[in-house]
């Protein structure tokens, strides 16, 4: 018998608790966006509206419950019910897994007639949903240096020779500061934060010590974009991970349309102008998450460190870390000149790894317990949003696929090749 989710607290109650906390503390979080956990359970939350990062102390208790493949159907509708709104009145911004309890944390924006309100919802391994009362948690706050001016917005453009559509025009109303915090990576007592800054050189990397002490370094990043055939300094890093590459720690970072670059950590200093090393480009699309994991096949062989890179426009890409070692750095004089669409003979280019099957579209993904991916997934048949947990060696639910093994006449024959 399946347990029904336990909706333990209403949005109104949470806001009441939050208001009480505001009387005693300066907590004024306005947006819950990018999420990142430290190994001790500290949760970092990016607030693009305030231009700040919050660190909440969330101790967790280890559970003996084994992580299993699972699915929470219509996770957006269940979160909306928990918050007391319609399913169309929420936006899911990011997810992260607590390193001790393995609970899933989901950052959400409530939208509608009232002002947008942030919320963080937790989902336990037994699929219980709870609204996190962030107003009751100890926290620290770090403001961003060079926070973009809220009056600057994106440009309006059409598609090639075609005039802009209403959705293109709507993009012109979006402030640049909504990209102030795109990804947060915690590594050895520091936060690395990608986003845009208020400067002609928009793409930036911030380096912030934790516990916060009010200081930070901010560097500007330029990189060569293979598909666009130009050097770019505006669009920010979308997803990143710290890895040991060529004998030193480096940020492996993915951009829109979709180059992957290296940035040595020792180059990320305050005021630096960094030229990132472009290694590969697997084509158009917008990267969503970059997850470090150890791949272990159930059919034997050794474990191999890899990156699982998801996109809004293509199947996930699995990139072996070994392929990034001693890889060729690409500049404008390495390849033929000119833009390169996905159909170009040279695309994808570099040590891109392999595209892997994923049933549906993974909108947000996190690693759970070392051997499982949990993702907010758009179902390809129903269009619903589900919260799926599957093993890293086969991150799929196969309920929609009819294969040889599903037919009632199927009888495995040991004498035949499998």
Question: pLDDT tens digits, the chain, 418 residues: what are they?
Answer: 333 333 333 333 333 233 323 334 468 999 999 999 999 999 999 999 999 999 999 988 887 778 999 999 999 999 999 999 988 899 999 999 999 999 999 999 998 655 678 999 999 999 999 999 998 999 999 999 999 887 888 888 888 888 889 988 988 888 889 999 999 999 999 999 999 997 677 999 999 999 999 889 999 999 999 999 999 999 999 999 999 999 999 999 999 999 999 999 999 999 999 999 999 999 999 999 999 999 999 888 899 999 999 999 999 999 999 999 999 999 999 999 999 999 999 999 999 999 999 999 999 999 999 999 999 999 988 999 999 999 999 998 877 788 888 888 888 766 655 5
Cis preceding-peptide flag for 295 (omega within 30 of 0): no
Q: Decide if 119 is inside a domain.
A: yes
Query: Which tokens in the block code for residue 99?
Result: 């390193």
Asked if 334 and 376 sit in the same domain, the reply is no
Q: How far apart are the first and last CA of the chain?
A: 35
- Domain assignment of residue 349, given as a range: 182-356
Q: Decide if 37 is inside a domain.
A: yes
Q: Decide if 36 is inside a domain.
A: yes
- The neighbour count for residue 24, using CB atoms within 10 Å, is 8
Asked if 46 and 136 sit in the same domain, the reply is yes
Asked if 223 and 134 sit in the same domain, the reply is no
Asked if 314 and 199 sit in the same domain, the reply is yes
Q: Decide if 40 is inside a domain.
A: yes
Last residue of a domain, one of 327, 356, 385: 356
Q: Decide if 167 is inside a domain.
A: no
Nearest to 262 by CA among 235, 236, 282, 280: 280
Asked if 219 and 318 sit in the same domain, the reply is yes
- ∠221-290-254 over CA atoms, to 5°? 30
Asked if 90 and 212 sit in the same domain, the reply is no
Residue 25's alpha-carbon distances to 90, 119, 145, 284, in angstroms, are 27, 18, 22, 45
196 forms beta bridges with 203
Q: Please count the structural domains in the chain.
A: 2
The rounded distance, in Å, linking the Cα atoms of 39 and 335 is 42
Asked if 100 and 220 sit in the same domain, the reply is no
The rounded distance, in Å, linking the Cα atoms of 45 and 364 is 15
Nearest to 281 by CA among 247, 232, 244, 242: 232
The rounded distance, in Å, linking the Cα atoms of 90 and 109 is 6
Q: Decide if 252 is inside a domain.
A: yes
The rounded distance, in Å, linking the Cα atoms of 204 and 237 is 8
Asked if 204 and 319 sit in the same domain, the reply is yes
Asked if 223 and 351 sit in the same domain, the reply is yes
What is the torsion angle, in degrees rounded to the nearest 10, for the CA atoms of residue 394, residue 398, residue 400 and residue 402? 120
Asked if 401 and 331 sit in the same domain, the reply is no
Nearest to 319 by CA among 309, 329, 327: 309
Q: Decide if 291 is inside a domain.
A: yes
Q: Decide if 361 is inside a domain.
A: no
Bridge-based pairing of strands 217-225 and 273-275 is parallel
164 and 156 in contact (C-beta within 8 Å)?
Answer: yes
Asked if 350 and 386 sit in the same domain, the reply is no
Asked if 6 and 77 sit in the same domain, the reply is yes
396 and 390 in contact (C-beta within 8 Å)?
Answer: yes
284 and 277 in contact (C-beta within 8 Å)?
Answer: no
- The neighbour count for residue 283, using CB atoms within 10 Å, is 22
Query: Which tokens in the block code for residue 259?
Result: 């180059």
In sequence order, the 6+-apart residues with CB closer than 8 A to the CB of 63 are: 101, 102, 125
Q: In what order do the strands lie in the sheet with 70-72?
A: 70-72, 385-391, 372-378, 361-368
The rounded distance, in Å, linking the Cα atoms of 151 and 378 is 33
77 φ/ψ angles, rounded to the nearest 5 degrees:
-65, -35
């Amino acid at each position: 018998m399946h347990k029904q989710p336990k909706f333990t607290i209403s949005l109104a109650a949470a806001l009441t608790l939050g208001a009480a906390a505001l009387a005693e503390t300066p907590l004024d979080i306005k947006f819950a966006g990018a999420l990142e956990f430290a190994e001790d359970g500290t949760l970092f939350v990016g607030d693009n509206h305030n231009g700040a990062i919050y660190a909440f102390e969330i101790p967790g208790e280890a559970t003996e419950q084994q992580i299993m493949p699972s699915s929470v159907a219509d996770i957006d509708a269940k979160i909306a019910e928990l918050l007391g709104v319609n399913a169309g009145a929420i936006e899911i911004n990011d997810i992260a897994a607590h390193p001790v309890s393995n609970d899933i944390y989901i950052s959400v924006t409530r939208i509608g007639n009232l002002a947008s309100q942030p919320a963080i919802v937790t989902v336990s391994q037994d699929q219980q949903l709870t609204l996190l009362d962030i107003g009751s948690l100890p926290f620290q706050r770090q403001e961003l240096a060079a926070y973009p001016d809220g009056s600057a917005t994106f440009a309006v453009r059409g598609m090639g020779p075609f005039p802009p559509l209403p959705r293109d025009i709507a993009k012109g109303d979006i402030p640049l500061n909504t990209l102030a915090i795109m990804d947060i990576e915690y590594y050895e007592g520091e936060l690395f934060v990608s986003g845009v800054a208020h400067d002609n050189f928009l793409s930036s990397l911030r380096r912030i010590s934790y516990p916060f002490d009010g200081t930070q370094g901010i560097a500007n990043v330029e990189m060569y974009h293979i598909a666009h055939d130009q050097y770019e300094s505006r669009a920010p890093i979308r997803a990143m991970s710290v890895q040991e590459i060529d004998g030193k720690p480096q940020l492996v970072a993915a951009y829109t349309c979709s180059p992957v670059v290296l940035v040595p950590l020792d180059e990320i200093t305050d005021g630096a102008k960094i030229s990132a090393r472009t290694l590969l480009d697997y084509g158009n699309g917008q990267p969503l998450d970059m997850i470090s994991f150890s791949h272990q096949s159930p059919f034997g062989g050794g474990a191999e460190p890899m990156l699982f890179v998801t996109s809004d426009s293509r199947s996930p890409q699995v990139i072996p870390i070994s392929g990034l070692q001693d890889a060729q750095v690409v500049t404008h004089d390495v390849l033929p000149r000119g833009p390169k669409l996905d159909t170009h003979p040279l695309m994808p280019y570099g040590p891109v790894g392999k595209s892997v099957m994923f049933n549906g579209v993974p909108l947000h993904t996190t690693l759970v317990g070392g051997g499982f991916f949990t993702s907010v997934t758009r179902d390809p048949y129903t269009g619903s949003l589900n919260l799926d947990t599957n093993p890293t060696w086969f991150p799929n639910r196969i309920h929609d696929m009819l294969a040889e093994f599903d037919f009632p006449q199927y009888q495995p024959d040991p004498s035949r090749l499998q």
